[in-house]
């Protein structure tokens, strides 16, 4: 496999190797790909969690379970905005 990098990315890879943390550019790229895959996995987990939380809120709204002071203004004031 052959990969083309921008000058900026190539410089970043070279800096990582020069730092001594990696023996060569391939190690840098493998580590970067592992991190990207982990980020994607965490993003999927977050999306699943967010959907579940939204469903809980939606079901509460359908039941009529609302906080008395649930207005945009009260939410913002509680958030310190």
Whether the CB-CB separation of 24 and 18 falls below 8 Å is answered with no
pTM recorded for the entire structure: 0.60
* Interatomic CA distance for residues 47 and 45, integer angstroms: 5
Looking at residue 81, what is its pLDDT? 63
Distance CA 7, CA 4 (A): 9
- Show me where the domains of the chain are located: 7-78
Whether the per-residue pLDDT at 63 is higher than 90: the answer is no
Mean pLDDT of the chain: 90
Residue 55: both structure tokens together? 């469903």
């Amino acid at each position: 496999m052959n990969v083309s990098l921008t000058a900026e990315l190539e410089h970043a890879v070279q800096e990582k190797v020069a730092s001594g943390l990696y023996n060569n550019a391939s190690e840098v790229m493998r580590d970067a790909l592992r991190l990207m895959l982990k980020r994607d996995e965490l993003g999927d987990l977050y999306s699943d969690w967010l959907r579940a939380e939204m469903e809980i809120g939606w079901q509460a709204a359908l039941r009529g379970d609302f906080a008395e002071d649930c207005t945009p203004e009260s939410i913002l004031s509680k958030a310190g905005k």
